Structure 1
């Protein structure tokens, strides 16, 4: 657990986030061995193939927050010297004001007292913040970037990735689900449909299944007695 008050927001978006992060990883890995470079002034983050600098994955980047071990705190981009007071992070602050979530409205959020604050903890915290940002803005994917001295910066990216379709998700989900822990699978499926722009219909009043659909086809998620995903049936066009 990193920031307990924010974790439920990240959990809700977990399935959509996993699919979009997977798409970003695939696009970057297609470059082969590569590096990333961020230009804060230009608002870009670019992945470049090391063996051929002309091969790039260029994205528009939006700083969300930085997480630093020195002060043991998270600093939201709207309060960051390199951030935009009216940028993406301001949407998170507005949600926090509406729902009275102090961790979203305070400019700087201290680590929990019992947090190790080490490299692994900060990396996990960055993924939590990325998930929260996706959930509250609808933008994805995000990128967690090590920026020196143990600090990580979290960016939302406008990347040249195709929209997430039901057909694409059905292919990726068996692999994604094997490595993704969902605290509430029903809610994660509902939120996946919401964020992806699909339609969702519950199969019955006990919510034992959910059918999602878009122009590429339909997929029906079945849930077991513990509300876990028990199976996925698809019909693709």
Structure 2
């Protein structure tokens, strides 16, 4: 567990986030061996192929927060010297004000006293914050960047990735679901449809299934008695 009050927001977005991170990884991996560079002044994050520097993936990057082991704290970008008080991260502050979540409204949030705050914990915390940012801003994917001395910066990206379609999700979900845990799969499927801009309809009053659809087709998620995803059926349209 990282920041307990924020975890439910990250959990809600978990399925959509996993699919968007998978798409970013695929796009970056297509470059082969590559490096990344952040330009805060320009507001960009660039992935560049080592073998051919002309091959790049350039994304508009919005700083959300930094997480540092020295002060053992998270600093929101709207309060950061390199951040923007009116930038994308301010949407998280606004949500915190509306819903009374102190961890989103305090400029700096200390690590929980009982955690180690080591590299692994900070990396996991960065993933939590990235998922929260996707949930509350609707922008995706996110990127967690090591910036020195154990500190990580979390960005949400406006990346040149195709919008997530039902057809794309159906292809990726067997791989993606094997690598994540969904505390509330029904809510995660609902939120996937919301964030992706799909249509969702529950199959019955018991919420034992959900149909999601867009122009590329329809997928039906089935849930077992523990509300876990037990199966996915799809009908996809031929794409011209």
Q: TM-score higher than 0.5 here?
A: yes
User: Moved runs in structure 1, 4+ residues, more than 2 A?
Assistant: none
Quick one: distance in 2 between partners of 1:129 and 1:56?
A: 26
1:145 corresponds to: 145
1:120 aligns with 2:120: yes
Quick one: distance in 1 between partners of 2:173 and 2:59?
A: 25
Tell me the SS of whatever aligns to 1:88: coil
Quick one: distance in 2 between partners of 1:174 and 1:226?
A: 19
Quick one: distance in 1 between partners of 2:8 and 2:43?
A: 29
1:165 corresponds to: 165
Residue 115 of structure 1, CA deviation: 1.0
* 1:45-84 paired onto structure 2 within 5 Å: 45-84=45-84
Quick one: distance in 2 between partners of 1:11 and 1:115?
A: 20
1:5 aligns with 2:5: yes
TM, length-normalised to structure 2:
0.99
Quick one: distance in 2 between partners of 1:157 and 1:91?
A: 15
Quick one: distance in 1 between partners of 2:133 and 2:157?
A: 11
Quick one: distance in 1 between partners of 2:125 and 2:98?
A: 23
User: Could you list the per-position Cα deviations for residues 165-188 of structure 1 after superposition, in whole angstroms to 9, with x for gaps in the alignment?
Assistant: 000000000110011100000000
Residue 130 of structure 1, CA deviation: 0.2
Quick one: distance in 2 between partners of 1:53 and 1:172?
A: 29
Quick one: distance in 2 between partners of 1:107 and 1:11?
A: 23
TM, length-normalised to structure 1:
1.00
Tell me the SS of whatever aligns to 2:160: coil
Alignment RMSD (CA, Å): 0.3
Tell me the SS of whatever aligns to 1:58: strand
1:28 corresponds to: 28
* Structure 1 spans left out of the alignment, 5+ residues: none
2:191 corresponds to: 191
* 1:89-100 paired onto structure 2 within 5 Å: 89-100=89-100
* 1:9-20 paired onto structure 2 within 5 Å: 9-20=9-20
Quick one: distance in 2 between partners of 1:105 and 1:157?
A: 22
Residue 61 of structure 1, CA deviation: 0.3
Quick one: distance in 2 between partners of 1:167 and 1:131?
A: 23
Tell me the SS of whatever aligns to 1:35: strand
Quick one: distance in 1 between partners of 2:167 and 2:18?
A: 16
Tell me the SS of whatever aligns to 1:152: strand
